């Protein structure tokens, strides 16, 4: 009988892909089967995120809960970014944990399950060419990693300390994986990296052909079976004209761009060490709007970064009003260990930060009301990927709007033209034209 695996995944798309890799290794090499009931599992894994404090503090209470409900003899493993940064300390705080496997050590999962109190959290470990087995959560869409780690030194961010320095994955491996996934039915390829448009900065193999992200996009778009390409996250600093041109002109590249602003104030951006100014960001975003009027732009914003004044925050609101983002992920600044900003002496009062966050989110709601009205009667190409509990088929338009229709199951996995008849803030409802 096969052993049973339960895995909980927190955090970003990189973590989702890491979890798929873990499942693939355990299924293909160790005879595990994925289940969704932790009480029946022989192995419980939590793939953690440490980008903000909240999920980290919740981790230990969660371990306690799993420990109580797990069946006798079942093991608990902690993986991901919090594993990287806390390492052995996890055993001290939670002795019931059997192993700790860092975000850059995923390929060692087979070793981890076989040894007692195994710890591997080396952030210099190079797994950029490791051939993981096959497992994907979705038949229709495939995450494909293009790099590991991050070379940026944003002063608020713990990730360079959990995922190590940036290494690009060899282009031929990426193309091979994208091709295989597409031939197995994933029409959409989702390229993943901490800074995707910095691709090519460093390969482990010094003889790798010199190339950048735009070149990689061109290569992937030449695979016949690939119909759509998405990617996350690009860095605004590296949004040069070559990149914007291929984004605009290559028909397979979906017209939605994530542009993590973080702050609209040049002064705060300098303190964050983001490498660009308010003007550069606006220049890139507005150029993109002009080149691809239908494109959607999403962003990440941190409010209450140390030293952020009322005027700085007004600059952030100003950028929001000028760009009209289709989606904003907004966060209150959370001081993280191992980061420069955690030592800054001018931390912003938590209540002030909460008020700013509320103002920002209120403004965004108004913008979204306007944006959703514009979708009425528009026709979008939608790739249907999921049947929802409400029995509707759901998919994404090319520009990343969630669209739901009443449709036939056999439409799952196909791209259809949909006319939007009822646009709501969070989802657009429509009917299929062809």
Cβ 80 vs Cβ 15: under 8 Å:
yes
- Least Å distance, CB 325 to ligand SF4, is 19
The string of DSSP letters for 202-217 reads -BSSTTSPP--HHHHH
User: Regarding beta strands 167-168 and 147-148, do their DSSP bridges make them parallel or antiparallel, or are they unpaired?
Assistant: antiparallel
Which of 5, 44, 46, 51 touches ligand SF4 (CB under 6 A)?
A: 51
Give the pair of three-digit tokens for residue 274: 């983001």
Which of 17, 75, 108, 163 touches ligand SF4 (CB under 6 A)?
A: 163
Considering only 16-24, 78-86, 330-338, 404-412, which stretch makes contact with ligand 5AD by CB under 6 A?
A: 330-338
Considering only 134-142, 284-292, 331-339, 358-366, which stretch makes contact with ligand 5AD by CB under 6 A?
A: 331-339
Cβ 427 vs Cβ 404: under 8 Å:
yes
Interface with ligand 5AD includes 333 (CB under 6 A)?
A: yes
Considering only 46-54, 200-208, 305-313, 402-410, which stretch makes contact with ligand SF4 by CB under 6 A?
A: 46-54
Interface with ligand 5AD includes 276 (CB under 6 A)?
A: no
Cβ 9 vs Cβ 16: under 8 Å:
yes
Which of 6, 7, 15, 274 touches ligand SF4 (CB under 6 A)?
A: 15
Give the pair of three-digit tokens for residue 170: 């060899």
Sign, Cα dihedral of 310, 315, 318, 323: negative
- For ligand 5AD, the closer CB: 49 or 217: 49
Interface with ligand SF4 includes 21 (CB under 6 A)?
A: no
Residue nearest to ligand SF4 (CB): 11
HSE of 229, CA atoms in CB hemisphere, 13 A: 30
Angle, alpha carbons 11-13-16 (nearest 5°): 80
Angle, alpha carbons 179-185-190 (nearest 5°): 60
Residues 60-99 that bind ligand SF4 (CB under 6 A): 80-81
Report the C-alpha gap between 257 and 229 in whole angstroms. 11
Interface with ligand 5AD includes 262 (CB under 6 A)?
A: yes
Which of 23, 302, 319, 401 touches ligand 5AD (CB under 6 A)?
A: 302
The partner in contact with residue 269, picked from ligand 5AD, ligand SF4, none with C-beta cut-offs of 5 to 8 angstroms by kind, is none
- For ligand SF4, the closer CB: 80 or 264: 80
């Amino acid at each position: 009988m096969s052993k049973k695996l339960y895995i909980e995944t927190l955090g970003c798309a990189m973590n989702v892909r890491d979890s798929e890799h873990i499942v693939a290794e355990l299924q293909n090499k160790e005879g595990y089967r994925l289940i969704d009931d932790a009480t029946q599992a022989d192995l419980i894994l939590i793939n953690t995120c440490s980008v903000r404090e909240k999920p980290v503090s919740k981790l230990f209470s969660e371990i306690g809960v799993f420990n109580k409900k797990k069946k006798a003899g079942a093991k608990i493993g902690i993986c991901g970014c919090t594993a990287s940064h806390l390492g052995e300390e996890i055993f001290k705080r939670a002795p019931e944990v059997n192993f700790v496997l860092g975000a850059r050590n995923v390929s060692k999962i087979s070793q981890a399950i076989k040894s007692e109190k195994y710890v591997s959290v080396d952030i210099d470990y190079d797994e950029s060419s490791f051939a993981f087995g096959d497992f994907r959560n979705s038949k229709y869409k495939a995450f494909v990693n293009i790099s590991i780690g991050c070379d940026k030194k944003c002063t608020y961010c713990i990730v360079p300390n959990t995922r190590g320095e940036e290494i690009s994955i060899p282009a031929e491996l990426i193309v091979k994986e994208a091709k295989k996934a597409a031939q197995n039915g994933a029409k959409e390829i989702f390229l993943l990296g901490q800074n995707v448009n910095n691709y090519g900065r460093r390969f482990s193999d010094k003889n790798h052909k010199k190339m950048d992200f735009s070149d990689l996009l061109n290569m992937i778009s030449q695979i016949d079976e690939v119909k759509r390409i998405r990617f996350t996250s690009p860095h605004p600093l590296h949004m040069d004209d070559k990149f914007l041109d291929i984004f605009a002109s290559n028909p397979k590249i979906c017209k939605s761009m994530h542009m993590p602003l973080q702050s609209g104030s040049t002064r705060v951006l300098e303190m964050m060490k983001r490498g660009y100014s308010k003007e550069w960001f606006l220049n890139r975003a507005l150029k993109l709007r002009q080149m691809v009027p239908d494109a959607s732009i999403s962003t990440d914003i941190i409010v209450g970064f140390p030293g952020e004044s009322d005027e700085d925050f007004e600059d952030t609101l100003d950028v929001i009003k000028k760009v009209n983002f289709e989606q904003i992920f907004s966060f209150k600044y959370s001081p993280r260990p191992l980061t420069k900003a955690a030592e800054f002496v001018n931390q912003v009062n938590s209540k002030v930060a909460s008020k700013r966050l509320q103002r920002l989110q209120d403004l965004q709601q108004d913008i979204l009301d306007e944006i959703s009205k514009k979708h009425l009667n528009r026709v979008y190409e939608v790739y249907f990927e999921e049947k929802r509990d409400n029995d509707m088929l759901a998919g994404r338009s090319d520009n990343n709007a969630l669209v739901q229709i009443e449709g036939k199951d056999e439409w799952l996995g196909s791209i259809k033209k949909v006319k939007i008849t009822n646009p709501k803030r969070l989802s657009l409802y429509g009917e299929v034209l062809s």
